[in-house]
Amino acid sequence: GQQLNQSPQSMFIQEGEDVSMNCTSSSIFNTWLWYKQDPGEGPVLLIALYKAGELTSNGRLTAQFGITRKDSFLNISASIPSDVGIYFCAGRHNAGNMLTFGGGTRLMVKP
């Protein structure tokens, strides 16, 4: 099936540091979504991107839809302990298509 390559697979950072993670694909997507999953819970939508080049923020989170439509990144500024979790990217080719998910980035924050 379609693959989204998400990196890094895991990160262990100090509280207060900035974080960056990204997703790349060999094919074009028209929608990019970023989700966060807390331990024992389902993924929760953080940011949705619908246009190439779009840059969207949600508090300390910023995500961008790559110009080539084949990638997206998520930045977290000034990390805090509650940022711990697994972050997933997801892409959709066109309306009517299903989402394809990346493998996730596990973030650990040291107080």
Partner 1 sequence: DAGITQSPRHKVTETGTPVTLRCHQTENHRYMYWYRQDPGHGLRLIHYSYGVKDTDKGEVSDGYSVSRSKTEDFLLTLESATSSQTSVYFCAISESTGSTDTQYFGPGTRLTVL
Task: Please give the Cα distance from 68 to 46 (Å, whole number).
Answer: 22
Residue reference for tokens 């790349």: 24
Binding of partner 1 at residue 26 (CB under 8 A)? Answer: no
Cα 103 versus chain centre, distance: 10
- The region that residue 78 occupies, defined by phi over 0 for left and psi between -120 and 50 for alpha, beta otherwise, is left
Q: Which of 41, 59, 82, 111 binds partner 1 (CB under 8 A)?
A: 41
Number of residues that bind partner 1 (CB under 8 A): 28
**Nearer to partner 1 among residue 89 and residue 109 (C-beta):** 89
Binding site for partner 1 (CB under 8 A): 1, 4, 6, 30-31, 33, 35, 40-45, 48, 50, 88, 90, 92, 94-99, 101-104
